[in-house]
Chain A
């Protein structure tokens, strides 16, 4: 069943598993575990729909590169799946082969451990397993640039698709407007015993469970752990000061522009660099997208001039002759953009701000940083790609200056994909990560973390599919 959290009528019984968060990870886990006969408490901090009051809890202090963490996430039932674009692409097996990047270990599990959950994950996000993952263009380029394969979910809105199943499931108790604010540990600090939950009116209750799973996303997972300092001052799971470190995004870098020789042949194209290429140059993986520009945009004074001419043209009935100034476009002209892997980096991190939210919890302090490895990835991918474009005689290409010259402008030239990863990374050793191979927090016997915050590396694929695969794997482990 599903209901608004009311501390006065809360159930004090012991649940098998308490799951915090109702995004793709939380909902997948709740249904899988409930179907296996476990009694589940599912908590959603927000309501059933968007509200400004709930969304305000995602306000962050941003001190590094701007990642818009307060806008790219949604805090209500279904989580960020409520505005997910739907692009799906699983990890490559090579993503699991790299022993270390920047002196930090890679994945401690094999690709096969996720791959066996691929078909079930596809079903969850309404993908046709028979169709699989397909490329939108042929093999055109050499030099290890291959057509990228992906699949497009409708996209599945987890709230719309699964709220009825959760409401009607006899093994699931789902509470909304229920913000988890603290986790109470036993005396030895080895086991979580109960979770403190607040509503917006100051009410609070404790819920007991045998196991707990945090599925709050790449920024809120570490924020919650760091805020749990009533018993451990550095926060839960943070013995080695790894909670919140290694924040990774996928870099959206405007590498340059191009003009196709034959604009009628191509529309959008996507390429992927293989692992041989990444290993050779010691750089991250990348997806490169070529998109035709439909109309050149203009800004500032240029736009004012264009508007001035537009007005005159209309007055003088010369609009046809002047329109090419305002809506100038060149057939076949387009932009080169990327979904590029960022390396794990201890200095790129989520911490706690001194600012507090309405429940008195410290807000996230978000410090997104790039390092030399990432700058090398950008320059190498850009230059190698441009040369292959020329060799294939597709047209002419112009790279941005920062891709050519190492003049430190790179850091102001990229943007985000809203993929928040790495902040409770998976590692065999607690020295290099927060969770173990089963996504269990190293420091505790019964606390698990779901979602992309456990990714030790992010590859160059959209994270939703691997998040669901990892959730299914966790459900099998816990059942």
Chain B
């Protein structure tokens, strides 16, 4: 019995898989590419890779 799939089904599978990869790659990256740059910017605030967070948000109480 022929176990092949249609071209339409193949494209659909590829599309879904690639979409997942694309979306995932937008939000995660290997650690080696994103070394954290942390700097105290005064007033109880830190910058972590540009994100401005309070001391409390960093659980540094």
Name A residues whose Cβ lies closer than 8 Å to a Cβ of B.
Answer: 256, 305, 309, 312-313, 315-316, 318, 322, 325, 383, 386-387, 389-390, 396-401, 403-405
Contact = CB atoms under 8 A, between A and B. Distances in A.
Contacts of A383: 41-42, 47
B52 A401 contact: no
A386 B41 CA distance: 10
Given A398-B51, A398-B52, A404-B50, A309 B41 contact: no
B49 to A, nearest CB: 8
Nearest to B51: A398
B39 A309 contact: no
Given A305-B22, A325-B22, A398-B50, A404 B8 contact: no
Given A256-B50, A399-B52, A404-B50, A316 B23 contact: no
Secondary structure class of chain A's binding surface, majority of residues: helix
B11 to A, nearest CB: 6
Nearest to A399: B50
Given A383-B41, A401-B37, A405-B37, A309 B19 contact: yes
Contacts of B30: none
Contact of A325 (B23, B43, B51): B23
Contacts of A322: 15, 19
Given A309-B18, A387-B42, A316 B12 contact: yes
Secondary structure class of chain B's binding surface, majority of residues: mixed
Contacts of B15: 309, 312-313, 316, 318, 322
A293 to B, nearest CB: 15
Contact of B45 (A256, A325, A390, A401): A390
A317 to B, nearest CB: 10
B37 A397 contact: no
Nearest to A403: B50
Interface in B35-59: 37, 39, 41-43, 45, 47, 49-54
B47 A404 contact: yes
A312 B23 contact: no
Given A312-B11, A386-B52, A404-B50, A325 B42 contact: no
A318 B23 CA distance: 17
B54 A390 contact: yes
B23 A404 contact: no
Contact of B37 (A315, A316, A404): A404
B8 A325 contact: no
A401 B51 contact: no
Contacts of B52: 386-387, 389-390, 396-399
20 contacts: A309-B15, A315-B11, A316-B8, A316-B11, A318-B12, A322-B15, A383-B42, A383-B47, A386-B41, A386-B45, A387-B41, A389-B52, A396-B51, A396-B52, A397-B51, A398-B49, A399-B47, A399-B52, A404-B37, A404-B50
Given A316-B8, A316-B11, A383-B42, A325 B19 contact: yes
B6 to A, nearest CB: 11
A401 B19 contact: no
Nearest to B41: A383
A318 B8 CA distance: 12
A405 B11 contact: no
B35 to A, nearest CB: 12
A86 B40 CA distance: 40
Contacts of A405: 37, 39
Interface in B12-41: 12, 15, 18-19, 22-23, 37, 39, 41
Contacts of B41: 383, 386-387, 404
A387 B39 CA distance: 13
